[in-house]
Structure 1
Amino acid sequence: MRILLADDHTLFRAGLKNLLSTVDEMQIVGEASTGEEAIEQASLLNPDIILMDIRMPGLNGIEATKKIRETLPHVHILILSMFQDDQSVFTAMKVGAKGYILKDANEDELLHAIRMIASGGAVFGSVIAARMMDYFAVSSRYEPNDPAYAELTAREREILILISKNATNSQIASELHLSSKTVANYVTNILNKLQVSDRQEAKRIALKWKLNDHV
């Protein structure tokens, strides 16, 4: 398996190289620290697999994945990221990534993921798989006939339901296993999309939509 590493953190790439160099069937053929470099190196080296970070300077990993898959559809791309939000995960899937695992995955999980996508399969880390199940569970619920509701992501809808139950940010973070900062960002996005100024107004909309009646 000829592997290209695309990540802007030098130490993280070094750690991957040290790990993969101990595996006989895996060979590191190149490295990239930006999305642009990943595209260039992929075209030049034609690797079997690319381990791709999302947040890199310039072109991000998702855009790089999209462009690489357009020109080299046989190349398998595994996303390695610290981000587990719905938008990152599902956008990566839409542009052709064959797997998505978090950077804190253990060595066995990473090697298993590489082997899986090399054989033509798709693989998602345990945390990501759980988020996908949550996403589809929420998406299958009752949906109000309101354009504003359609603007919300599945996770934002889930948080809006908790807001309607008077849950605080810390309580939402604990319930959904997210950081308080991540929850605060979601709440800000919800308020902006609903075009309201505070949680009480958001709660009133959620109650008008009768979201709790269909949980």
Structure 2
Amino acid sequence: MTEAGVLICDPQELMRVGLRGVVDSQADLTVIGEAADGEAAVAQALTLCPDLVLMEARLPRLDGISATARLRAELPETHVLILTSCDRDEYAYAALRAGASGFLVKNTSAAEMLVALRGVLRGDTMIAPSVARRLIDRYVTGAVAPLADTRLDTLTDREREVLCLVGRGLNNVEIAEKLFLGETTIKTHVARILAKLHIRDRIQAVVLAYECGLVRPGG
């Protein structure tokens, strides 16, 4: 079994020790490095090329959101999962815009965190339920007016349908089942959507779907 390498970045040593214990207890995960601030996280990531970075949002020297943006620009194959003590909506939204694949708060159980880690490594978007609900209320139900984006006009009807499902958090297998299509076909649609919209990954596609009002509660 191939182990996924995890870099832990948190300013508190006790938190890093605890997270290392949880991650290293799994046969398919291993901690390959630790960092106490954002600058160190970026430097270690560039050296170690982890599969996933477990990142606190509030860090000294360079905050976790800015560190995430730099990491995703330099290492697009590396996933970032924000695990923070601050669950403010602005942090969650900024994290997704920066390219994070998930946002959890530190009252998350070890079991839930491991589910999120593996989900992120599969390419899914993992957001704490309480945060997801508030983001939907704020950015989808009308508290923030949808943005017009002419890039959506380049999508076919099927691609727009796939984008909506991506925005709702479905992975490729789930989308394929819902649309009665093959998973390979869905992967092709997603790749074309990213190319047409000039965005780097499906996380950015989720953000765009929210901003443009494509996703609606229960839709």
Q: TM-score range by the shorter chain?
A: 0.5 to 0.7
C-alpha deviations, 1:107-158, integer Å up to 9, x for none?
111000000010111110111112112212242579xxxxxxxxxxxxxxxx
In the TM superposition, 1:33-44 aligns within 5 A as 33-44=36-47
Residue 24 of structure 1 is matched in structure 2 by 27
In the alignment, structure 1 residue 69 sits paired with structure 2 residue 72:
yes
Give the alignment's TM-score, normalised by structure 2: 0.63
Q: 1:51 aligns with which of 54, 61, 64?
A: 54
Amino acid at match of 1:139: A
In the TM superposition, 1:1-215 aligns within 5 A as 1-136=4-139, 137-139=141-143
Q: Is the 8 A contact 2:89 2:131 kept in 1?
A: no
Q: Identify if the C-alpha distance between structure 1 residues 67 and 18 changes in structure 2 by more than 3 Å, giving closer, same or farther.
A: same
SS in 2 for 1:43: helix
RMSD in angstroms over aligned alpha carbons?
1.4
Distance, in Å, in 2 between the alignment partners of 1:98 and 1:141 is 24
Aligned length: 142
Residue 207 of structure 1 is matched in structure 2 by none
Residue 200 of structure 1 is matched in structure 2 by none
C-alpha deviations, 1:87-113, integer Å up to 9, x for none?
111111101000000011011110000
- Larger radius of gyration between Structure 1 and Structure 2: 1
The answer for unaligned runs of 5 or more in structure 2 is: 147-219
Residue 197 of structure 2 is matched in structure 1 by none
Residue 211 of structure 2 is matched in structure 1 by none
Give the alignment's TM-score, normalised by structure 1: 0.64
Distance, in Å, in 2 between the alignment partners of 1:62 and 1:18 is 25
Distance, in Å, in 2 between the alignment partners of 1:129 and 1:34 is 27
Distance, in Å, in 2 between the alignment partners of 1:132 and 1:66 is 20
Amino acid at match of 1:63: S
Distance, in Å, in 1 between the alignment partners of 2:104 and 2:144 is 25
Offset of residue 42 of structure 1: 0.3
Distance, in Å, in 1 between the alignment partners of 2:88 and 2:23 is 27
The answer for unaligned runs of 5 or more in structure 1 is: 143-215
Identity of aligned residues (%): 33
Q: Is the 8 A contact 1:109 1:125 kept in 2?
A: no
Q: Deviation above 6 Å: which 4+ runs of structure 1?
A: none
Residue 178 of structure 1 is matched in structure 2 by none
